[in-house]
Amino acid sequence: MGFSYRKSFKAGPLRVTASKSGISYSAGVKGLRVTKRANGRVQTTVSAPGTGLRYTTSSRGGGNQPGSATWANRVNAPVTAGPAVVHARTERHPGRWYFAVVLLSAGLFSAIPFAHAAARLGRRELRVKAGIYGAAAVAVGLLASVAPQDAQGNPVGTAGNVLSTVSGLLALALMLTASLQLIPLRREVYGLQVGLPMPSAPGAADPVVAAHLAARARRDEARALAQRDPVLAYDLRIGRPDLPRQYDDGGLVDLNGAPADAIAAACSIESSLAEQIVQARQALGSFSSLDEVFVYAQIDQVAAERIRDHGLILPR
């Protein structure tokens, strides 16, 4: 038997434990707790008291993670080994911190990735979502704090059990809903959309089809670049076929800046529809999404599909 030591200190929702292996701490309320262990592992537990429902997620300690030099070697390694090297390069995609924030906070900090996406994409509906998730997190915290508890932090009476259960279920719903919504949003923010595969042997394919696929691939690439760096998109004049430029964006048109004739030509729509888009843009000040274009300019479904293929929304 060796020497052992363990001592805990509690201050409100925060508990600190000192032991031979190090210092760990945890914070939370009944139904929700985040624990940072001495070995670096972070564990989040969401439960619904009285129901037996519990959800736990944890991250590995810092000692098991490869250092920055290792990741740099993987990312910068030349592509010479085929599928094995490609797997190493895609092992660490950007934007995974979106899910880490949501899971490690049990959904309470879900507003953060949505606010980041709103800042990157300049879309109004994302700012609204960030506000909704922030308000929901405040509501969960208030429910958990007003639940009657005894000295050990256990819910007391019917009111305590009900409020603790509701707060735990709401936190779980926040975490799951935010995670599902962030899957496509992360791809959009970081330009991770997978375009259509190009023919492996262009000579064997129809040259007209190959040309259209190549233009579509260029549009996908230009969209991703514009989402990552709108300032560079303005400098390259992406989506502005009416202006002199050298960058080939595959036929995109910026619905927030291009004139009606350029929109009509790029999207292959009637001039009257393009004029409706410009009039709606002037009334709103600017569009925040393609859906706003379709609603405020009263675009029919057939024209909407053409606009969706060639349209681009750059923030103003």
Residues 6+ apart with CB under 8 A from 276: 297, 298, 299
- Which of 60, 22, 65, 59 minimizes the C-alpha distance to 44? 59
- Contact predicate 107/174, CB 8 Å: yes
- What pLDDT, in 10s, does the model give residues 232-251? 989 999 999 999 999 899 99
CA–CA separation, 292 and 253 (whole Å): 16
CA–CA separation, 226 and 121 (whole Å): 9
Residue 279 has pLDDT above 50, yes or no: yes
Q: List 53's β-bridge partners, or say none.
A: 48
CA–CA separation, 112 and 116 (whole Å): 6
Residues 6+ apart with CB under 8 A from 206: none
* Position 82 confidence tier, pLDDT thresholds 50, 70, 90: very low
Q: What is the mean pLDDT of residues 134-155?
A: 76
Higher pLDDT, 2 or 149: 149
Q: What pTM was estimated for this model as a whole?
A: 0.39
* Position 68 confidence tier, pLDDT thresholds 50, 70, 90: very low
Residue 116 has pLDDT above 70, yes or no: yes
Per-residue confidence (pLDDT) for residue 90, from 0 to 100: 40
Say whether 80 sits in a helix, a strand or coil. Answer: coil
Residues 6+ apart with CB under 8 A from 308: 290
- What pLDDT, in 10s, does the model give residues 146-201? 777 666 666 667 776 777 788 778 888 888 898 999 888 888 887 765 444 444 44
